Structure 1
Amino acid sequence: MAEQADQDSKTEEPTENKIRDEVERGNVPISREASIFASVAGILIIAAFMIRESARSITITLERLFGDSSEWPLRNGFDAVALLAFVAWDMFRLLIPLFVILMVSGLLSSFLQNAPQIAPDRIRPDFQRISLVNGWRRIFGARGQAEFLKALFKLISVGAVISTVLRWEQGNLANAMAVEPEAIPEMILAIAMRLLSVVCIVTVLLLAVDLLWARAHWRRDLRMSKQDVKDELKRSEGDPLRKARLRSLALDRVRKSMIAAVPKATLVIANPTHYAIALRYVKEEGGAPVVLSKGQDLLALKIREIAEQNSIPIIEDKNLARSMYDSVEIDQAIPPEFYKAVAELIHFLYSKNPPRSSIK
């Protein structure tokens, strides 16, 4: 019940990090039908392209072995070893291509499903795999029942197909009594190839369904609870509280830096308490006016306070202050669209040559 409740709580789709971690650990969706299809396809290839040549070679070997027994005298143990070595080598030479085809087809069935990788977690000893309780759950649990139903459906499907093919071949099998003995092996091979071809087609259909089922079941097993998603977000992006604290410290440093730069300003443009922008323009330094600091609400009041303490002119222009606040950057020259308006203010200050007090 606890396991079912835990599974029910996992309602969120797995994240990319979760999927990547599981793949690195070797937990990937695999269809067992792929290896079966690879084996059937390999046997079909062998039957179509190699079985005739192999049968011919075996026939030649047997004729050489039993046709002239004087060629193989068995006077002592060395003769017996030589005979066995000849037979073993000939059989090995004939069987090795068959093993290679089956091995390659099996490897391809695995590699085409998932990229090959080394996963130590999959080969590390795990005593839970030999636990009787876990084994009982695997066999008689929901997954075991699903595998049983899949195997039963596969058995029924393949059995029905084989029965149908054999019924079609009843006439050929009955005619085998009247054909020459030399033609019987070719007839049997033709029937076997047709049977393998039909089984291969059925296996392809089963493989397609099983691949979809395996991947859907794999993603369902990887589902996460809402708490799992939050924990992973913390691990990947950091603790939100810590990040908020760091942002707060960074903003404090920026504020202190801007406050310290206000005494160097030439003028402050305000709106009248919501926004404040401190600009520096010295004709000898050249270039456009530079933004030393800007602030809103409390920070704007602080900028004005420091400007008044240092007798820096404060010009109240609501529209200009509001539009400049969203467009200017600290320690950067003002954008060209504000050149004319700011130049008029600076010209006004220089032409009037006012005392070091606020202009309002």
Structure 2
Amino acid sequence: MAESSDQESKTEEPTEKKVRDALEQGNIPVSREASMLATMAALMVIQAFLIGQGVQRLTPTLKSFIDEPDGFPLSTSADAQNLLTVVGLEALRFLVPLVVIIAVFGLAASLLQNAPRLALQRILPDVSRISPTSGWSRIFGAQGLVEFAKSMFKLASVSIVVCFVLRSSEARAFEAMYTDPVALPEMILTIAMRIVSAICIATIVLVAIDLAWARFRWRRELRMTKQEIKDEHKQSEGDPLIKARLRSLARDRSRQRMIASVPRATLVIANPTHFAIALRYNRDENPAPLVVAKGMDVIALKIREAAEQNKIPVIENKALARALYEAVQVDQVIPAEFFRPVAEIIYFLQSKQTPRPEKVQ
């Protein structure tokens, strides 16, 4: 009941991160019926291209072994080993291509459904896989009922297909009673190919339905609640309160470094208490005055205080201070349009014998 209510609360589609994490953990939508279809398709290929030639190659060896059992020396263990080696090699020549084709088709059925991924978490021990309670819920739960319905559909489909094929081949089977026994294997192979082909056609419909159901069920299981989406957003983007605190700390450190740079300034242009821009001018360092600090309100007052403590001239010019504050950045030279007014202030300061705070109108 709790699981049902929890599932009902998951009304939101999974986010890209949720889907990506599920794929990395090996939780992928897989249709088991696709493997069955691949096996039947492999059997059909084997029947069409390999069975006849393989049997023809294997028949002489088995025939000689059965017809003339005393024609093989078995006096020593080496003779027996040689005999088993010959028979085993012939059997391997017959069986290895069949096993390879079935394995290739099975691997292709898996790769066509999902891209290959290395998910070590899937092979780690999990207590829930051997828990009787979990096993009971898997067998008699919704998924267990779906698997049971698919099994019944497969059984019914295969039974109907086999009945139709055998019914259509009934007359031919009776005729085989009066035909040469050498033709029986070919007739049996033909009927088997018809049965396997019909089963493949019937299975295609089941695989299409099962693929759609597997992906639908997978997406439904990955659904999230609104709270889960909010928590994931916080984890990926960071807690807004923490981020605001970090930004505040970064601004404080930047202001402290900026205030510490004021003693390097040549002059400070201020708008009495609202704006303050500290400029450093040294011909050997930069072709134009460099902004080492700027601030507004409280920061402007701290810049002026630091300038006065270090006996740096503070020039009050309301219009120029506001314009510089809006146009320049720290650690950048002033734009060309401010060269003339700033140069006049620097010339004015250099012409004074005793530099002290002045007010330029």
What TM-score results when the alignment is normalised by the length of structure 1? 0.79
1:327 Cα offset (Å): 4.8
CA distance in 2, matches of 1:359, 1:54: 107
Aligned equivalents of 2:253, 2:125: Cα separation in 1: 53
Alpha carbons of 1:306 and 1:187: their partners in 2 closer, same or farther (altered >3 Å)?
same
- Residue 249 of structure 2 aligns to which amino acid in structure 1? L
Look up the match of 1:44. 44
Match of 1:68 in 2: 68
Aligned to 1:317: 319
How many angstroms apart in 2 are the aligned matches of 1:284 and 1:81?
96
Aligned partners of 1:262 and 1:292 also within 8 Å: yes
* 1:1-20 paired onto structure 2 within 5 Å: 1-20=1-20
Q: For structure 1, which segment, 35-44 or 181-190, has the greater mean C-alpha deviation from structure 2 after superposition?
A: 181-190
Q: How many residues align?
A: 353
Contact 2:288 2:339 in 1 (8 A): no
* d(CA) in 1 for partners of 2:265, 2:74: 114
Deviation at 1:346, TM superposition (A): 1.7
CA contact (8 A) 1:315 1:359 kept: yes
Match of residue 281 from structure 1: 281
Q: Is the 8 A contact 1:307 1:313 kept in 2?
A: no
Q: TM-score, normalised by structure 2?
A: 0.79
Q: Which moved more, 1:170-179 or 1:74-83?
A: 74-83
Matched with 1:96 is 96
When residues 87 and 28 of structure 1 are mapped into structure 2, their CA distance, relative to the original with a 3 A threshold, is: same
> Do 1:12 and 1:226's aligned partners in 2 also have CA atoms closer than 8 Å?
yes
Following superposition, the deviation at residue 224 of structure 1 comes to 3.3
Once the two structures are TM-superposed, the CA of residue 239 in structure 1 deviates from its matched residue by 4.7
Flag the 1:346–1:127 CA change in 2: closer, same or farther, 3 A: closer
Q: Distance in 1 between matches of 2:286 and 2:128?
A: 77
Q: Indicate conservation of the 8 Å contact 2:26/2:117, yes or no.
A: no
| Cα distance change, pair 260–96 in 1 and its aligned pair in 2 (3 A) | closer
Distance 1:77 1:122 in 2: 47
Kindly state the Cα deviation for residue 47 of structure 1 after the two structures are TM-superposed: 0.5
Equivalent residues of 2:269, 2:314 under 8 A apart: no
* Residue matched to 1:348: 344
Judged with a 3 Å threshold, the aligned counterparts in structure 2 of structure 1 residues 163 and 66 are, in CA distance, closer, same or farther, namely closer
Matched, 1:105 2:102: no
CA apart distance, 1:173: 5.2
Matched position secondary structure for 2:359: coil
Match of 1:313, SS state, is strand
Task: Find the aligned partners of 2:22 and 2:42 in 1 and give their Cα distance.
Answer: 31
What amino acid is aligned across from residue 343 of structure 2 in structure 1? H
1:251 and 1:74, CA in 2 relative to 1: closer, same or farther beyond 3 A?
A: closer
How far residue 254 of structure 1 moved from its aligned partner, in angstroms, is 0.9
43-52 or 256-265, which moves further after superposition? 256-265
Retained in 2: the 8 A contact 1:11–1:223?
yes
The one-letter code sitting in structure 1 at the alignment partner of 2:59 is: T
1:314/1:262 Cα in 2 relative to 1: closer, same or farther (>3 Å)?
A: farther
Provide structure 2 residue ranges, at least 5 long, that are not aligned to the other structure.
none
Deviation at 1:308, TM superposition (A): 6.6
Residue number in structure 1 paired with 2:196: 196
Question: Unaligned regions of 5+ residues in structure 1, if any?
Answer: none
Question: Is residue 2:27 matched to residue 1:27?
Answer: yes
Aligned partners of 1:297, 1:165: CA distance in 2, in Å?
A: 94
Superposed counterparts of 1:319-334, under 5 Å:
321=322, 324-325=324-325, 327-334=327-334
Compute the displacement of 1:265 (Å): 3.5
2:263 and 2:73 mapped to 1: Cα distance?
Answer: 116
Identity %: 49
| Separation in structure 2 between the aligned mates of residue 348 and residue 213 of structure 1, nearest angstrom | 80
Aligned amino acid, residue 357 of structure 2: R
Contact 1:35-1:110 at 8 Å conserved across structures: yes
Equivalences for 1:119-268 in 2 at 5 Å? 119=120, 121-163=121-163, 165=165, 180-233=180-233, 235-236=235-236, 238-268=238-268
Does 252-261 or 83-92 show the bigger shift?
83-92
Question: Is the Cα contact below 8 Å between 2:262 and 2:307 reproduced in 1?
Answer: yes
Between the aligned partners of 1:175 and 1:298, the Cα distance in structure 2 is 109
Q: Which segment is superposed worse, 249-258 or 236-245? A: 236-245
Deviation at 1:83, TM superposition (A): 6.3
Aligned letter for 2:9?
S
Structure 1 339/35 Cα, relative in aligned 2: closer, same or farther at 3 Å?
same
CA deviation profile, 1:268-308 (whole Å, cap 9, x unmatched): 45567655433333446441221112224433444455557
For 1:77 and 1:292, the matched residues in 2 are separated by 98
How far 1:186 sits from its partner (Å)?
Answer: 2.3
Q: How far 1:240 sits from its partner (Å)? A: 4.3
Given that residues 267 and 315 in structure 1 are in contact (C-alpha distance below 8 angstroms), is that contact kept between their aligned partners in structure 2?
A: no
Give, in whole Å, the separation in 2 of the partners of 1:333 and 1:359.
22
RMSD of Structure 2 on Structure 1 (CA): 3.7
Secondary structure, counterpart of 2:331 in structure 1:
coil
